[in-house]
Every structure is written in C-alpha cells, then in structure tokens.
Structure 1
Amino acid sequence: MAEVVLIDMFSVEFTSHHYCIKQFLDAAMKIVLMKSDPTTSSIYIMYCQTFGCDNNDARDVFLHAIRSFQTLKKPIELISAAGVTATLHNVKQKLDENNISRVRIILPKNRTCLMKAFIDRLFTQVYTFEYELLELNYAQQPSDMNNTFMEKQLELVECDIQIYLGTLPGRGELTILKSPLIPENVFNHGFTTRCGGVSYIPALSSLNLYSSSSRRDSPAVVAENMRRLSMAVGFNPKNFHLVKAAHASDVWIMGKKEPDSYDGIVTNQKGVTIAAPGADCIPLLFSDPVTKAIGAAHSGWKGTLLGVSMATVNAMISEYGCDVKDIQVVLGPSLGPCCFTLTQAEAKAFYDIDKRCVHQFESSNPKVDFRRATRILLERGGILPNNIEDKLVLCTSCNQELFFSHSRDGENFGTQIGFIAVKN
C-alpha cells in the first residue's frame, strides 16, 4: 500500500536563521534515507504561506536545500497555506485524490502533541500516521508544556479548524425537501439532499451529515455541514439527536436512558431536533399535532420486517398518549424497487406481507419495494392512509445529483437525514 512522507516545517523560524532551514531539511533527509520505503509515492513539505515573504535569502536557502531531496527520485510537492488547518486540509485533498491512507510525518518533537490534535480532528481511522521525531537544537520543548498549556492549545486547534472550515464555499445550493402533511406552524422538519456542504470527496460531496471511522469525511467537516444546515433551517445543533442505527426496531424514548443503539427516537420536548439517517434506507418522520409529540426512525429492509415503523408509533402512543389516528408519517427518499433486489428467500418475507411488495418473485433476485411494505404495515397498525406521505420517496440510487446512495457509491458513501422538531 502506497504512502507519502509529510515533512512539517511550520515551526521552523526561517527569517533570521538560515542555518535552521538546512539543519531541519538535512535531518529530515537522513530519516527518509534511513527508513527508505519503496511504497513511498511522494514527499510533501508543508510550511507557512508567509515563509520567506520578507526575506528572499531565506527562500533561496529553502529552495536550494529542497533540491537535495531530488536524489530520492520521488515527486516532491510544496504545500502551504496561512495556517496549519488549511495546509493539512490541502494535504488531505491530495491524499484523497490519490486514494492514499498511509502517512509518515517528520516533525520536531515539540510539535507532536499539537499535530496529533489537528490530525485527530481532520482525519478518520481510514488513515494511519507514523511519527518520526526530530531533535533540533533550536526547537526546544517549551518549559510550560503542562496540562493547562495543552488545554489552551487544543482550544486554539478547535477554533482554528472551525474558522477555516467556516470560510469554505458551499458546494451547490443547500436544498431541503418538506412534506405538506406536517404542519409548519407546529413542527420544523425536512429531508436533506446532498447539496450545500463542504465535503469534497465525490461519493461524500457535499452535505454529508455522518462521520464514520471507515469513511474519509472527518467529524470536523461533518460538524461544519451540520452547522450550515442548522443555520439554514433554524435549529440548535447542540440539541440535535441522530438515530444510532443498527437495522433493528429498538426505540429510544428521550428522557430515559439512551441505549447503545436504536433505530427510532420519540420525544415531546420543544426545541429538540431528532433525526434519522438515510443513504438507501428510509428516514421516517412522525408527528402528532394534537399532543405535539414527534418521532424519527431509520428503516432499512431488515428494520422494515422487524417493525421499526410501528414500534415508533407505539412508543408515541404509550409515552405521550397519542391517538393512532392523529399520527402523521412521512417517508423520506430511499432505494426504490427499481434498484433494490434481494435473494428469493429474503424477498419471501415481503411477498408474505403483500404480493405487490415484490416484483418478479420467481426470479433468483426479485425486486423488492420495502417502501410499499412500510405503508402497508403502518396502515395495518392503524395509521390512516391519508396520514401517510410517500410522495417524497424518490429513489436515492437513481437520483445521483440529489442523494447519497450506499448501493451506488460503495463503502465511502455519504448520508442525508430526515429531521423534525417541535417548535418553541
């Protein structure tokens, strides 16, 4: 597996000590030579964009020293920006463009904790980092490197990341789909599309709203996407709760102990936004304008068969005294029968619910309409047909310009959500 070597020169004081430049790069060169790896595809050198601006001699020394790296016969790229966040963001884009996940960082010893703080927030566990530390005479460890010092540094890291990501232009126009079934004067709700965020990886671009250790979008980027969504539709991201999907039928009743995983949430608390993810599975939204109770559920084909939709309805009835005839249910965008197949044995359970839920049942891989199955199960549970909205159920796989799709995009897929809140 290919790797890159990243040399961090942000901390070197160039303007007054030309010797520092040569010493730093000579030491870095020794490490590269000593631990030469045939899988190294490139060498990236990151430095502050303002380096050498007022000192042409320093820049000349820097460029001359870099020429020594040409003996390694590896491509060398200089990556600079005004701050560490911006520079590492540029580094990450290059890694992602080349599908590289392994990075060996060469940096002064006293920079290690700070660099790890940036990397922990800007990268996920998809990437692996190996640190090679330089002991340099001019880069002594600060005497106040204690817990208080580090806490302040971490606060600065968080602030730097938030400010930088907040300046990035959105990709596309942030678009929210709404249902006329849910009264706007009582509830704030909607279904996101993939447009309007800052995620740049094609399968995650651009309003990806879920960060996973197995995908390349960092928690910081997803948090920025969520901030932009919350600003656009008017909710507090600090009072936001997303289903911890397990493709089952457990429901968390807010106010009680939160389970480790659940596919439904119900609440009657005002100002709290609850949401369900979807990237082929159905994000379901539930509302009762009489009791002002709400629910959100994640319903994949397994969750559909396990009855997650009615489990959410029943939780609203038992906890908040809802009448089943008052509950409204909206199905969000999901995989359609045009693109969703199961084995015949798996499809049999949907065929048993209603023959119309399965197309070409006699084939080895019948097409399954788990959205229709959801409607049928809701109606059998007592939800009035007119209180079920499925006109927003566009196929996530077919509508690539609007939606993320696991089945279409593979393992590094993005996530949209359906959200709902009781207005204050």
Structure 2
Amino acid sequence: MTEAVLIDVFNLKLNSEDGSFRKSLLNVLDFADRNYGTSTQLVYVMCCQSLLCERNGIHKDILTKSLDNCKALKRGFQVVWNSSMAAMLYSIKQQLDEKDVSIVRIILPKSKKSSMQVFVDHLFTTAYQLEYKVFDPICDEDDIHEATALQSGYPSELQLQHIKSDIATFLGSLPGLKGDLAILKSPLISDSHFIHGFSTRAGGISYIKTLSSLNLFSSSSRKDPKSVVGENLRRLAKLAGFNPDSYRSVKVDHGNQVWIVGKPEPDSYDGIVTNRKGVTIAAPGADCIPILFSDPVKKVCGAAHSGWKGTLLGVAMATVNAMVTEFGCRMDDIVVVMGPSVGPCCFTLPLEAAKEFQALDPRCVRQFDLPRPYIDIRKATRVLLERGGIQPQNIQDDSVIDQSRNLTFCTACHPEMFFSHVRDGINFGTQIGFISIKD
C-alpha cells in the first residue's frame, strides 16, 4: 500500500552562517529515509513562501539550495511552497487522493503539533490513517519522537480563529466545479411561505470523482472533510437564501423516527418537522428519496430521508402524522414532494425484500420472476401517502403528467446531475432536499 510522508519546515528559521537549519533538515530527512524509505514513495517538504517568512530569515534560495544538495532521501521528495498552510495541505491532499493514498505520516516541529492537528482535522477525515512524529528545530534522530509522547498544548482561541479563517478563506476562493450551482424547485410548494429546493451535484468544490462537486455529506468512511462540505453548503445557502448556521439535517438510520425541532433530539432519525421560521431542515439522498413536506395554512414544514427500508417502515407518513399531531395540520393541506432518487429502472433488491413491496402493491415491483426484481420506491411512497390520507394531487413524483414539473429524476441514470450509491459505489456523494419557513 502506498504511503506518504509530509515534512513540515513551514516556519523554521534559516541561518546561512551557522548551518543549523541545514543540519536539522538533513537529520529529519535522514530519519524519514531510514524509517519510511522502503515503503514510502511520496515525500512532501512543506515550506513557507511569504513576505513575513522572508523577514523572519527564511530565504527561499537558501532552503532550495539545501534541499537540492541533500541526498538523504534516496527516493527523492517534492517541495511544496505556499503562504497558506490550508492551501498547502489541500494541494498535497489532492495529489494523495489522485494516487489513492490513505496512510499519511507527518514529521513536524513539536511546537507545531497542536495547530497541525487542527488543520488536519478540518481538511482530512478518519478515512486516512495519520501518524505524527515531532522534532526539535535542531535535532538528532534521538530527538524525534512519537507525537503522542509530547503534549504541546491545544492552540489558543486566537490561534484557532486564525486557523479556521485560513481554511475558510482558502476554500472560499476555490472555483466551483462541473458548472454553475443549480436548485430544483417544486411549483406545489408555496414560494410565499417557504424557501425550498433539491440540490444537484454542480457548483461545489469537492474534487474526488465520485464526490464532485457539490457533495453535502461527510462521514468517517469518505475522504471529503466537513470543511469542504461546509463550504459547499455555504454556497448552496447563499443561492437559495437561507442561513447555513440554522441548518439541520436528519441523522439517517433508515428507520421511521421523526424529530420535532425544539424537543430533545434523538441520536438518529429519518424525519424532521418544524414550525420555526428561519430554521432550514433537510434530508440527504443519493438514491434514497429526499422528501419535502409543507403546509401553507399552518406554516409547518418537514423533510424525510426514505430509502427502501424507511419506505416500508412508513417514514413519509410518520412525518405527515407528526405535522398533524404536533401542529394541528390537516391532511388536505399538506403537500409532499419527492426529490431525485433511484428509479425502478436501476434499483433491485433480493427476492425476499421484493416480496414486501409486492405485498404492498404489485405496481411497486417489476420482473418479479428475477432473483433480484426491480423496485419502485417512489410508487410505494405514493401508495402509502394516499392510503394515509394525502390528496393525490398534493403529491409530486415522477408520475406527474407534465414532465416539466418532474423533480424525481433517476439519480443512477443522470451522472452529470446527481450522485448515486448504486452507480458510484461506497465513496459516493450526496445531494439534499431542504426547506424552511420564511420570516
């Protein structure tokens, strides 16, 4: 498995007269070579390039000469220059992801350990295996230690603000990928009362192929960090007109539990309902259906995540029932809109699971004689909503006659527009459906 070593000399001061910097650098490179040289093919030396560093005695020409003459690392190394640590780490991360590297070893001054951990926590995820080694600016091999053996203290609040500002400023400067950001909206949801929409995959900054570009979900198993997802959300919120600081998304469990905003929050839930103005609620989807609910009379809204398990468990009607029970909504006033999801053209299940959809309504299953029949989770959702009392004309899905109003595209069939777990595999991106009550 390919590994990478990052050597941080970002803020070390050079002194061309006593050669102390060169000695320190040689020791660190020699340590890296003897400990990781056999398995490591990628080595990056991170160096500062800014007017401030020049004034502090860090001269690029001296450092370049020291590195060019250094033969300690037999496999070679790449020097990365930047004035921003966020930009430097992000640039290196892009190269690591291109080569599918997950094991990263960081060698750095002990005074930089705590701040580096903050950068790494914001720009990487636990999908990477990270190891820290720390050294003194003038060191021998014996002075290089496991990072866990030294606690240099957590950064101050001011330092944290500077780090977060560096990350936010850099990510905010990146261009959007895959075209302009776009939002799909339903004519059934009142623009006078609600802000709502379904995101597509265009206009964000996520660069990994299956996550590119407006990925709106981060997890420990994926390589898109929360800071990148946060920047994507910020851009979506700016276009849609909601405050990202008041954004709440369901905590997916593929069940039918519903959280009422303001009540104690469960550890997991697939539906969410509120009557609070300015609070944007959302449900993710990458084949599962993001469903939005609105009642313009009582001014209540909801969102639900409905995969095949949640569909059978009735998460859509559970969300409707929460609106009725908690806020006095009437069935006749509630509008339900299904967003992009995998269609019956692309989604199959084992026969035993398919039998449950067949029992619900035969129209929900295609080619039932196959070992893995094709399943229509949208049809099943409509069937359950209509049986529960929602008016057919108040439900929007792919069965609408006017196709210009269709929002329920098959995510697997439209790779240019949507993410799809079925199509892209484990490291898939996520779009959302979102809704909030206008002030």
Q: Same fold (TM over 0.5)?
A: yes
Does residue 265 of structure 2 align to residue 278 of structure 1? Answer: no
| Total equivalences in the alignment | 418
Preserved contact between residue 277 and residue 418 of structure 1 (Cα < 8 Å): yes
Mapping of residues 234-273 of structure 1, within 5 Å: 234-273=241-280
In 1, Cα distance between equivalents of 2:170 and 2:99: 24
In 1, Cα distance between equivalents of 2:337 and 2:350: 28
Let me know the Cα RMSD of the aligned residues: 2.1
Preserved contact between residue 7 and residue 43 of structure 2 (Cα < 8 Å): yes
> TM-score by structure 2 length?
0.91
Mapping of residues 91-102 of structure 1, within 5 Å: 91-102=92-103
In 2, Cα distance between equivalents of 1:85 and 1:72: 26
Preserved contact between residue 287 and residue 342 of structure 2 (Cα < 8 Å): yes
Shift in alpha-carbon separation, 1:179–1:17, aligned structure 2, 3 A: farther
Aligned partner of 1:362 among 344, 348, 369: 369
Shift in alpha-carbon separation, 1:270–1:32, aligned structure 2, 3 A: same
Preserved contact between residue 14 and residue 21 of structure 1 (Cα < 8 Å): yes
Does residue 167 of structure 2 align to residue 161 of structure 1? Answer: yes
Q: How far apart are 1:66 and its partner, in Å?
A: 2.1
Paired residue type of 2:416: E
Deviates more, 1:202-211 or 1:256-265: 202-211
In 2, Cα distance between equivalents of 1:298 and 1:59: 53
In 2, Cα distance between equivalents of 1:296 and 1:118: 33
Q: Secondary structure at the match of 2:224?
A: coil
Structure 1 partner of 2:417: 402
Aligned partner of 1:377 among 377, 380, 384: 384
In 2, Cα distance between equivalents of 1:410 and 1:273: 29
Structure 2 partner of 1:39: 39
Shift in alpha-carbon separation, 1:313–1:124, aligned structure 2, 3 A: same
Show structure 1 runs of 5+ residues with no match. Answer: 139-144
Q: Secondary structure at the match of 1:111?
A: helix
Q: How far apart are 1:352 and its partner, in Å?
A: 0.8
1:9-56 deviation line (CA, Å, top 9, x unaligned)? 101123766724312311212311331342211111111133897999
In 1, Cα distance between equivalents of 2:76 and 2:202: 35
Mapping of residues 55-94 of structure 1, within 5 Å: 58-67=59-68, 70=71, 72-94=73-95
In 1, Cα distance between equivalents of 2:76 and 2:60: 20
Q: Secondary structure at the match of 1:412?
A: coil
Paired residue type of 2:90: H
Show structure 2 runs of 5+ residues with no match. Answer: 140-150, 398-405
Structure 1 partner of 2:432: 417
Paired residue type of 1:163: T
Mapping of residues 15-414 of structure 1, within 5 Å: 19-50=19-50, 58-67=59-68, 70=71, 72-137=73-138, 150-171=156-177, 172-390=179-397, 391-414=406-429
Q: Secondary structure at the match of 1:118?
A: helix
Paired residue type of 2:158: K
Q: How far apart are 1:68 and its partner, in Å?
A: 5.2
Q: Secondary structure at the match of 2:210?
A: coil
Paired residue type of 2:340: P
Q: Secondary structure at the match of 1:114?
A: helix
Shift in alpha-carbon separation, 1:148–1:298, aligned structure 2, 3 A: closer
Shift in alpha-carbon separation, 1:131–1:284, aligned structure 2, 3 A: same
Q: How far apart are 1:236 and its partner, in Å?
A: 0.9
In 2, Cα distance between equivalents of 1:327 and 1:191: 19
Q: How far apart are 1:285 and its partner, in Å?
A: 0.2
Paired residue type of 2:85: V
In 2, Cα distance between equivalents of 1:151 and 1:57: 27
> TM-score by structure 1 length?
0.94
Deviates more, 1:88-97 or 1:128-137: 128-137
Paired residue type of 2:100: N
Q: Secondary structure at the match of 1:85?
A: helix
Paired residue type of 2:84: G
In 2, Cα distance between equivalents of 1:398 and 1:135: 55
Q: How far apart are 1:288 and its partner, in Å?
A: 0.6
In 2, Cα distance between equivalents of 1:241 and 1:55: 45
Q: Secondary structure at the match of 1:203?
A: helix
Q: How far apart are 1:233 and its partner, in Å?
A: 0.8
Paired residue type of 1:107: L
Does residue 22 of structure 2 align to residue 7 of structure 1? Answer: no
Shift in alpha-carbon separation, 1:18–1:315, aligned structure 2, 3 A: farther
Paired residue type of 2:95: K
Shift in alpha-carbon separation, 1:165–1:410, aligned structure 2, 3 A: same
Shift in alpha-carbon separation, 1:67–1:146, aligned structure 2, 3 A: closer
Paired residue type of 1:155: Q
In 2, Cα distance between equivalents of 1:55 and 1:238: 39
Shift in alpha-carbon separation, 1:50–1:18, aligned structure 2, 3 A: farther
In 2, Cα distance between equivalents of 1:56 and 1:30: 24
In 1, Cα distance between equivalents of 2:365 and 2:24: 66
Preserved contact between residue 9 and residue 47 of structure 2 (Cα < 8 Å): yes
Q: How far apart are 1:351 and its partner, in Å?
A: 0.6
Preserved contact between residue 18 and residue 58 of structure 1 (Cα < 8 Å): no
Deviates more, 1:49-58 or 1:20-29: 49-58
Paired residue type of 1:421: S
Q: How far apart are 1:135 and its partner, in Å?
A: 1.5
Over the matched positions of the two proteins, sequence identity in percent amounts to 53
In 2, Cα distance between equivalents of 1:16 and 1:371: 70
1:180-209 deviation line (CA, Å, top 9, x unaligned)? 000101111000000111111111111111
Q: How far apart are 1:396 and its partner, in Å?
A: 0.5
In 2, Cα distance between equivalents of 1:414 and 1:9: 35
Shift in alpha-carbon separation, 1:325–1:77, aligned structure 2, 3 A: same
Structure 2 partner of 1:141: none
